[in-house]
Amino acid sequence: MNTVSLKDFIYLIPESFVLCLGILILILDLFTPVNIRRKHVLNISVLGLLLSLPLLVYAPPKGLILGDMVSIDTYAIFFKCIIVLSAVFALTMAKFYAPIKDEVIGEFSALVVFAVLGMMFMVSSSDLLMIFLSVEFVSIAFFILTGYIKNDPKSAEGALKYFLIGAFSAGIFVYGMSLVIISTGTSNLKAMSGILHAPAGYSPLFLTGFLLMLVGFGYKIAMVPFHTWAPDAYEGAPTPVTALLSAASKAAGFAVLLRVALAAVTGRADLVLALAVLSALTMTAGNLMALQQNNVKRLLAYSGIAHSGYILMGVVAACSGTEPELGITSVLLYAFVYMLMNIGVFAVIIAFFNKTGNDDMQSYSGISKSNPYLSLVLVVFLVSLAGIPPTAGFIGKFYVFSAIIKAGPKFLWLAIVGIMNSVVALYYYFRIAYFVYFGAQKDDGKVEITAGLAVIAGVTAGLALLVCIYPGPFISAAKVSVLIP
Amino acid sequence: MKKKSASDAGKKAFITNKFGDFGFSIGIMMIFAFCGTLNFGEVADAISKGTLSGSALTLAGILVFCGAVGKSAQFPLHVWLPDAMEGPTPVSALIHAATMVAAGVYLVARTYFLYAASPTASAVVAYTGVFTAFFAATMALVATDIKRVLAFSTVSQLGYMIMALGVGGYTAGMFHLTTHAFFKALLFLGAGSVIHGAATQDIRDMGGLGKHMKITMVTFFIACLAISGIPPFSGFYSKDEVLLAAFNYSKPVYIVATFTAFMTAFYMFRLFFRTFTGEMRTKLHPHESPYTMTIPLMVLAALSIVAGWLFVQGHAFESLVHFKEGAAEEGNALVVWISIAASVIGIGLALAVYVLKIVPDGFFRNKFPRIHKVLINKWYVDEFYDKTVIKPSLNLARRLFSFDAKYIDGAVNLTGIINVVISKLHNVFDKAAVDGAVNGVAEAAQSGGGLLRRVQTGLVQNYMLLLVAGAALAVVVFFFVK
């Protein structure tokens, strides 16, 4: 085992940079007049996060550091890029989201930056203790961010529920973790994998502990039946936070889950089956509940639950042994694609919100007549979420499904459940499009689309199309980031 | 838009294609049964090793070809394409000229290893192609709807490509497919422009439109020259290669193909002269289409002129379809000159009838009324299908329907009811457990309750109960229900 040394911080250049950025923003916020905070403090945070991207990709050497608790590898870097990108987008959105007031925007940016830092550690964690610490770090930041609109009861409600369920599941998670550590004698994933794959490695104590740990992961990725917080939190949270929650927090959750699953689940048929059942349950329940929703943010929360089910298929494929690389690639790719389309769709939702003042589907009636471009972009995202070519969602789904089909005939049923679910999902995505295009027009006021929102929506829509039309670079980026178990 | 006829045409296209797909799917299954794989490369290997050979290979080839027959509107499944012209003109241009109908030709080209290994199968392909080319051209001679003429012409040209593949002209077939896409899309968009400007589709009502629609006329003229195979337009190069391949394969096929080229030139210029020259036959108020319509025409016209020439430079197209430097085809001056002559005679005849009026209009119609009647009725193929396939099917369907209404519907409705009940349950769950609680809390909060009170209403307990129950259930199921 490596001991902790000062040298380790060379590996942590990007993390240190983001930490300094967060502190800098807090200090700047103190000395900046309220009326220009929105402009300057926010811009600096966005710029800083953008700067951390090249640092992430090029600067740090790779290896296990801090007593083997943190692993700097391409797998983590891929997820870190997703996280930083979605935070960049979310902060840019926040600039044009009126309910977050000028007075608090500085702290808001700082919190987002800290959440990013937590998530960066999360995806690099290679030790259960580190995982727990970083997950809680991220959660606390998100609890506050969710409740950020102080005078909106919905925001407070969502935050409180998110917090309570979070605290509760963290308790179960930590309990499960303790059982796992007791039964294997280590908290390090790599060592654990070795012990587990020795003869008689899996003890009932370990299995119980692992299942309880799944509660914690399930909470993080909104897996049924641990998803209950998601609709309330998504609906109540300020929309930029919702976007960040759905894109970055979920990606980070999956990064951790997959890392743990590869160490602990691979080759253990009953655990793989348990994940498969949870996957089927998650996508089915998510989709069915989404059918009934009228609030678009709430609908997207349920849709996000369903998408978690799809990504879980990739995790199942990665752990079932035959072709782990394809399964891992599919999870990476899906996380990226899902980030793109969710960020985009929330950008459009903010633009519509700025006009209509709420997020109900009915209020979008006939909005396409006065806002043709925005509506078209929205449809691109909806098509992508539904997984239809020529959009990124199709590539994501295609990889996940081919991974699960290649995993062998025993998971064919899961693929079929997934495909049936994709059909169900069409209905509620296109219901939004129906209102936008065929609903009776309420007034002909144009949505005042600010340049920033237009850029986010345009860039993500362009990328969402590009990933399908020219997927090569994205797929090879995912392929080189595959974690070798 | 005439909704009824459009939806009928849609059904016709769907059902006709299913006939082809039926054979196609059996062909796929057959290949899988013999080779154990559907990967193109592996199937080709299996054929070269002799795993799939002889009459089985021939049958598989013909069955796969059925799919192409449906999709590329070859005889006897060509009937859907002319009717599909009910759709909007840009759709026709895209789907029926360039993309969808090309799928069948592409299918044959992609599975070329099947036909290369089976002379019988490739003969079926070649003769189907050449017959379709001829057959559709005859119908184009008498059609009076501008889009239908183009539809028949498309069928005919697809026959040409299929024939080229059948006679071993792999490159020629794909080449013609490519150049044809340019000028046929141009023709369709030109027709769209004409319909837009003149508000009719019937060429008997048109005439003299050229004065009012200069850009449309010039581009349409270029497309007509290209499809007739006049050098140096793109159609000349590809048609020449197709005819050369046919010439090397069999003389009767070549002769029919050349005669078709003559008919093609005639009916295209019949269409052109009747639309754009002479006197206006009815009171139309034609006008040139806006730039959004004419710019695509000009782009396509440019491509129709240069595409053929560009692709033969350094055998560019051959290296494209073979992924490497292809072998140079032997030129044959005789074939080239006969092909040009056939086109020129066709154009000349059209000129004589419709512009110079040397041969009176209606001469052929009056001289051979029977043939004209057969052609106008599209060789009675539709009527034949109506009597032999559609009527019996409908009768059977009626009988099945009465059975269906009694027994099957009951079962289906039951499933429906069960589904409704399940989603209602979900709804109830969502409403009662989630929404109900949320709304209850929200109302309670509105009537003065604070944040703490909200926590104590039991709502979050519900959530937690679910969470714990889920975890407990997972553990229990995992250990005890294996």
Quickly list DSSP for A259-273.
HHHHHHTTT-HHHHH
In this model, does residue B450 exceed pLDDT 50?
A: no
Chain B residues with CB-CB distance to A306 below 8 A: none
Does residue A421 form part of some domain?
Answer: yes
Q: Measuring CA to CA, how many Å separate A101 from each of A37, A104, A108, A150, A238?
A: 10, 6, 10, 10, 11
Chain B residues with CB-CB distance to A161 below 8 A: 459-460, 463
Query: Which residues make beta-bridge pairs with A310?
Result: none
Q: Please, what is the Cα angle at A224 between A219 and A230, to 5 degrees? A: 55
Q: Which of residues 139-198 of A touch B (CB under 8 A)?
A: 153, 156-157, 160-161, 164-165, 168-169, 172
Instruction: Report the chain B residue with the minimal C-alpha distance to residue A161.
Output: B460
Please answer yes or no on whether B438 and A157 come within 8 Å at the CB atom.
yes
Nearest-neighbour CA in chain B from A214: distance (Å): 8
Amino acid at B172: A
Does residue A437 form part of some domain?
Answer: yes
- Residue A184's CB: how many other CB atoms inside 10 A? 23
Q: Among A157, A165, A208, whose Cβ lies nearest the Cβ of B475?
A: A208
Residue B178 is predicted with a pLDDT of 85
From the centroid of its chain, how far is CA B257? 22
Please answer yes or no on whether A161 and B468 come within 8 Å at the CB atom.
no
Q: Among A168, A219, A274, whose Cβ lies nearest the Cβ of B474?
A: A274
Please answer yes or no on whether B455 and A164 come within 8 Å at the CB atom.
yes
CB A338 within 8 A of CB A464: no
Q: Which two tokens stand for residue A390?
A: 């020529």
Q: Which of A72-76, B78-82, B282-286, B399-403 is most confident?
A: A72-76
In this model, does residue B457 exceed pLDDT 60?
A: no
Residue B433 is predicted with a pLDDT of 67
Tens of pLDDT, residues A187-246? 898 888 888 888 777 888 898 999 999 999 999 999 988 888 888 899 889 999 999 999
Amino acid at A372: P
Please answer yes or no on whether A172 and B467 come within 8 Å at the CB atom.
yes
Backbone angles phi, psi at B202, to 5 degrees: -90, 120
The residue among B456, B478, B479, B480 with the most chain A CBs within 10 A of its CB, best to mutate, is: B478
Nearest-neighbour CA in chain B from A177: distance (Å): 14
Does residue A126 form part of some domain?
Answer: no
- The count of structural domains within chain A is 1
User: d(Cα B26, Cα A239) in Å, to the nearest integer?
Assistant: 53
Residue B446 is predicted with a pLDDT of 43
Q: Which residue has the tokens 């044009």?
A: A96
User: d(Cα A243, Cα A412) in Å, to the nearest integer?
Assistant: 32
Arithmetic mean of pLDDT, A181-189? 90
In this model, does residue B3 exceed pLDDT 80?
A: no
ipTM, interface predicted TM-score of the complex: 0.76
Arithmetic mean of pLDDT, B362-383? 74
DSSP state of B163: H
Nearest-neighbour CA in chain B from A484: distance (Å): 28
What's the whole-number average pLDDT of chain B? 79
Nearest-neighbour CA in chain A from B463: distance (Å): 6
In this model, does residue B63 exceed pLDDT 50?
A: yes
Q: Among B467, B468, B482, whose Cβ lies nearest the Cβ of A270?
A: B482
Please answer yes or no on whether A204 and B479 come within 8 Å at the CB atom.
yes
Q: Among A172, A228, A270, whose Cβ lies nearest the Cβ of B466?
A: A228
Please answer yes or no on whether A226 and B423 come within 8 Å at the CB atom.
no
Nearest-neighbour CA in chain B from A225: distance (Å): 6
Does residue A387 form part of some domain?
Answer: yes
Tens of pLDDT, residues A118-152? 999 999 999 999 999 999 999 999 999 999 888 88
Residue A90 is predicted with a pLDDT of 93
User: d(Cα A170, Cα B332) in Å, to the nearest integer?
Assistant: 82
- In this predicted structure, which of A104-108, A321-325, B173-177, B283-287 has the lowest mean pLDDT? B283-287
Q: Among B438, B455, B470, whose Cβ lies nearest the Cβ of A160?
A: B455
Residue B443 is predicted with a pLDDT of 54
Please answer yes or no on whether A165 and B426 come within 8 Å at the CB atom.
no
Higher pLDDT, B171 or B375: B171
Please answer yes or no on whether B464 and A168 come within 8 Å at the CB atom.
yes
Arithmetic mean of pLDDT, A151-177? 90
Intra-chain end-to-end CA distance of chain A, in Å: 18
Instruction: Report the chain A residue with the minimal C-alpha distance to residue B454.
Output: A157
Please answer yes or no on whether B467 and A225 come within 8 Å at the CB atom.
yes
Arithmetic mean of pLDDT, A412-441? 87
Does residue A427 form part of some domain?
Answer: yes
Half-sphere exposure of A232 (CA within 13 A, CB side): 30
**A63-65 and A70-72 beta bridge pairing:** antiparallel
Identify the H or E element spanning A320: none
Backbone angles phi, psi at A63, to 5 degrees: 160, 180
User: d(Cα A311, Cα A309) in Å, to the nearest integer?
Assistant: 6
Please answer yes or no on whether A226 and B451 come within 8 Å at the CB atom.
no
Residue B435 is predicted with a pLDDT of 64
Please answer yes or no on whether B423 and A291 come within 8 Å at the CB atom.
yes
- A231 in contact with B at a CB cutoff of 8 Å? yes
Q: What is the DSSP string of B312-381?
A: HGGGHHHHHHHSSPPPPPPP-HHHHHHHHHHHHHHHHHHHHHHTS-SSPTTHHHHH-HHHHHHHHTGGGH
The residue among A143, A155, A161, A302 with the most chain B CBs within 10 A of its CB, best to mutate, is: A161
Residue A306 is predicted with a pLDDT of 93
Nearest-neighbour CA in chain A from B420: distance (Å): 12
Residue B436 is predicted with a pLDDT of 60
In this model, does residue B276 exceed pLDDT 90?
A: no
The residue among A172, A211, A223 with the most chain B CBs within 10 A of its CB, best to mutate, is: A211
User: d(Cα A206, Cα B389) in Å, to the nearest integer?
Assistant: 67
CB A339 within 8 A of CB A351: no
CB B31 within 8 A of CB B52: yes
Q: Please, what is the Cα angle at A60 between A57 and A62, to 5 degrees? A: 100
Farthest CA pair distance, chain A: 71
Does residue A91 form part of some domain?
Answer: no
In this model, does residue B317 exceed pLDDT 80?
A: no
Does residue A481 form part of some domain?
Answer: yes
Nearest-neighbour CA in chain B from A216: distance (Å): 10
Q: Among B423, B427, B470, whose Cβ lies nearest the Cβ of A226?
A: B470
Please count the residue pairs, one from chain A and one from chain B, whose beta carbons lie less than 8 angstroms apart: 77
pLDDT above 90 as % of chain B:
1
Instruction: Report the chain B residue with the minimal C-alpha distance to residue A165.
Output: B464
User: d(Cα B194, Cα B210) in Å, to the nearest integer?
Assistant: 10
DSSP state of A295: B
Nearest-neighbour CA in chain B from A151: distance (Å): 12
Does residue A353 form part of some domain?
Answer: yes
Please answer yes or no on whether B460 and A270 come within 8 Å at the CB atom.
no
What's the whole-number average pLDDT of chain A? 88
Please answer yes or no on whether B467 and A164 come within 8 Å at the CB atom.
no
Please answer yes or no on whether B469 and A153 come within 8 Å at the CB atom.
no
Q: Among A168, A225, A270, whose Cβ lies nearest the Cβ of B478?
A: A270
Nearest-neighbour CA in chain A from B383: distance (Å): 39
Please answer yes or no on whether B426 and A289 come within 8 Å at the CB atom.
yes
From the centroid of its chain, how far is CA B223? 20
Q: Among A204, A215, A289, whose Cβ lies nearest the Cβ of B467?
A: A215
Please answer yes or no on whether A207 and B463 come within 8 Å at the CB atom.
no
User: d(Cα B144, Cα B361) in Å, to the nearest integer?
Assistant: 14
- Long-range interactions of A446-452: CB distance < 8 A, separation 24+: A446/A370, A446/A371, A447/A351, A447/A352, A447/A354, A447/A355, A447/A367, A447/A370, A447/A371, A447/A374, A448/A354, A448/A355, A449/A351, A449/A371, A449/A374, A450/A96, A450/A351, A452/A92, A452/A93, A452/A95, A452/A96
In this model, does residue B437 exceed pLDDT 70?
A: no
Nearest-neighbour CA in chain A from B446: distance (Å): 9
Tens of pLDDT, residues B179-216? 888 888 888 888 888 888 777 788 777 777 777 888 88
Please answer yes or no on whether B430 and A204 come within 8 Å at the CB atom.
no
pLDDT above 70 as % of chain B:
85
pLDDT band at A485 (very low <50, low <70, confident <90, very high): low
Helix, strand, coil share (%) of chain A residues, nearest 5: 80, 0, 20
Tens of pLDDT, residues A5-51? 777 788 888 999 999 999 999 999 888 888 888 888 888 999 999 99
Chain A residues with CB-CB distance to B438 below 8 A: 157, 232
Alpha helix segments (H runs only) across A59-188: 74-95, 105-124, 128-146, 153-184
Nearest to A230 by CA among A151, A149, A286, A150: A286
The residue among A179, A228, A272 with the most chain B CBs within 10 A of its CB, best to mutate, is: A228
Please answer yes or no on whether A172 and B471 come within 8 Å at the CB atom.
yes
Instruction: Domain of residue A361: give its range.
Output: 266-485
